[in-house]
Structure 1
């Protein structure tokens, strides 16, 4: 099946357009990671899971994704937490970084290509800031180095905020002798008992915004395909990233800005500061990772999602029905005789094929997961009908492999509980494939071969016989 072209909405332009990477088939994608001063909650997981699905889907479309997700390991919040606990800021950052990665692993999120820590790039940040000072885009005050927003004509385009409104915006950081209230810190001079690094203009530490810009520049270059994060980062963080990067390089920074709507509790953002959050650790005590993944992506990614236990329970039952239907279809397909489809079965096959196309159309339409999940519901229902009505075993096999393929894009592995070295299971799949080839159902046979290869099982047809082995 030919896959549809991917269409993406760009926060900056407000338009949806065909995805065309800078240097295909490579895609450079950067997503802002956590500031590690507390345990991760489901709001963090919502963004991480969505971009995990984006990465998996891009791979399915044939792209090679270079995925960077940073760790902010120096920040006011980390310093304050260390002072509260009477420990070093390094200890706080290390503890919560490890907890974050444990949580993401438990949620089946694939590791990023690189997870850079901000503190490993301090010298590069100093070079970056020096370049902005040299060009007149930044200036020094008694408490640090600031970026001059008036020096960047496009400031405010991402967030759609007018310069005159910035004076009253509570998110604007305070500073001594700033030229414009909206100017933001590139470097903060050290206060007593704070961590510090040497710099030509005075010892201190980087501002938050310069960290991401520098890590992107060093790891991915001046221009990237996709930059993502929560919608709460549009301003000031991502607005300031654009200003810094484009002021330094003179080049377009990001082709597609993707922002994830916030997880809400009673209409308010789920946040540690509001004490209304549910940690990933506590959620996993009552729900498995698959249920959490589907709940957190059940609304369109750009829209906010209201948290409720009823919705979590509904997602759990939905995933359970998908898995049960798929595994029943697999067991049924292994039991019976292969043969041609009758007329009713061919009509059911058309329904399954049509919903497969609809799934990929929905995912390629700016990741419309609600519509995509509706197609999974219908394929799952068709799989159940095949078994309950004792229909074609061939069709049951196709329904299973269709579900396995699309659920794997969502991070749900139907084979997770089956050991790849179970000889009987592998040989059963080989035999099913052989029988399908004999009746010229090559599309399903090829899908089985691909699934075996994904499991690490290599297949070769020689003189009418099929040879298989497990790739080391």
Structure 2
């Protein structure tokens, strides 16, 4: 049994540290532009809404960053002892969806189901847990109509001659408070085309009048379908109430989408919409903004053809969620090297503990050992409670991995074994809060990316060459043994000779 399979519980001292640190969590709030102590509306419980995907194509690497960032947020909150209700919506009716379905000659429902399935597959590959709820726009039309009706009754919305229903931005005094934009400044510098059906160029559509051949629902204003912004307001309040703790999404959604959500929701309910706003930074590709027009647009699936999914997750976590990130092959290779260090450390610890006959035993560590190792976990928790500072937390993991490697090399007695096991168990438990380092080390280190036909040696070919090398060394044919090692290195296979024999990993 491997260390990875054997460790299923968080060390007692770490569990205590996590619970005791709950009150020290600070989150950067985009509304106040400051880190604030996190105080949920209801003690011990967190309601979190994240804007999800519009399902007309495969998810791209920018989507991956949002998925992973809020997956880590929800996991960390749960590790601190909060009961989390994580809601991430699915937009399954939209101009782009209609256009793509027409382009493909397929039913809208078939298109959206296909890409929802693909989205779930990609998220699972990246190690993201399924949110508590994934409300779909088409399943909440009644809630949207009710909110639009409320806004109209409160004179925040109006029906236009063209059959659309618009939100009147001038009726909401706080419009622009999230993005720090003043409506009068926007109007002064506006190049928005004048829509004669709008009272203000920045009024936005709540309900779109039906067009020939498009899906539609009945309403007080005639057949039509919802605008994009109203979807999230209706679904978030339906799932989490008029006010909730955290609203998140990509930085590109801050204006106008989230600004419009605030205007709709707070005008309709009279309540503060979300207590904390979190926005994930952009991903650039080789220094340029990712876009299809520039030809630097990559889907998650395309990236997974070249890199292990956990490497992609580790790459994303190696930067703070609010920062801009530069995506490149070099950056992914660096991330793979870093994650490999963690797995090699766990593998080395396994080998020593197994050799000592302690791999499957619970070894009691002294108070002195616990105090020493708990210093690493304290630093890890401090980093994560500082607005989910994953790069700093990963730095702590590397420091602890260095200690584990040192212990694995120098351990000679029961006391050393106890310290090694405590350190290794803690390393894996801390990594678990980020959902990295949890598979069997050998499985990760030998994972094959892409097809053998693309040039990679198969496991069977590698094992056969290693066996030939063993026989060559036994026959003192060291020249042939060196040739085999060189051949394997040329094929990105690194050999590791140890007391337990020869092992290998892909590099």
Q: Per the shorter chain, which TM-score range?
A: 0.7 to 0.9
2:381 is the alignment partner of 1:360: yes
Aligned pairs for 1:21-36 within 5 A: 21-36=40-55
Aligned residue for 1:139?
Answer: 158
1:272/1:72 CA distance change after superposition, 3 Å: farther
1:169/1:211 CA distance change after superposition, 3 Å: farther
Aligned residue for 1:76?
Answer: 95
Contact 2:48–2:84, Cα closer than 8 Å, also in 1? yes
2:150 is the alignment partner of 1:150: no
4+ aligned runs moved over 6 Å, structure 1: 168-174, 337-342
Query: Which of 276, 288, 295 is equivalent to 1:256?
Result: 276
Aligned residue for 1:102?
Answer: 121
Aligned residue for 1:207?
Answer: 227
Matches of 1:107 and 1:44 in 2, distance apart? 11
SS in 1 for 2:221: coil
Aligned residue for 1:427?
Answer: none
Task: Give the C-alpha shift of residue 170 in structure 1.
Answer: 7.9
Q: CA RMSD in A?
A: 2.4
Which residues of structure 1 form unaligned runs of 5+? 420-472
Aligned pairs for 1:242-253 within 5 A: 242-253=262-273
Matches of 2:129 and 2:189 in 1, distance apart? 37
2:402 is the alignment partner of 1:381: yes
TM-score, structure 2 as length reference = 0.78
Aligned pairs for 1:31-430 within 5 A: 31-143=50-162, 144-167=164-187, 175-272=195-292, 274-336=294-356, 352-391=373-412, 392-415=416-439
1:190/1:219 CA distance change after superposition, 3 Å: same
Q: Deviations over 1:243-277 (max 9, x none)?
A: 00000010111011000001111443324465422
Contact 1:327–1:400, Cα closer than 8 Å, also in 2? no
SS in 1 for 2:342: helix
SS in 1 for 2:53: coil
Matches of 1:170 and 1:311 in 2, distance apart? 39
Matches of 2:411 and 2:152 in 1, distance apart? 74
Q: Deviations over 1:308-366 (max 9, x none)?
A: 11110111111111011023213322432789989xx96x8766432221111000000
Query: Which of 30, 33, 36 is equivalent to 1:17?
Result: 36
Contact 1:106–1:289, Cα closer than 8 Å, also in 2? yes
Task: Give the C-alpha shift of residue 282 in structure 1.
Answer: 1.5
Task: Give the C-alpha shift of residue 178 in structure 1.
Answer: 0.7
1:398/1:86 CA distance change after superposition, 3 Å: same
1:402/1:340 CA distance change after superposition, 3 Å: closer
Matches of 2:378 and 2:348 in 1, distance apart? 23
Which residues of structure 2 form unaligned runs of 5+? 1-15, 444-507
Task: Give the C-alpha shift of residue 408 in structure 1.
Answer: 0.8
SS in 2 for 1:286: coil
Over alpha carbons, which structure has the higher Rg? 2
Contact 1:42–1:280, Cα closer than 8 Å, also in 2? yes
Matches of 1:114 and 1:231 in 2, distance apart? 22
Contact 1:142–1:176, Cα closer than 8 Å, also in 2? no
TM-score, structure 1 as length reference = 0.83
How many pairs were matched up? Answer: 416
1:141/1:378 CA distance change after superposition, 3 Å: same
Contact 1:197–1:204, Cα closer than 8 Å, also in 2? yes
Contact 1:138–1:147, Cα closer than 8 Å, also in 2? yes
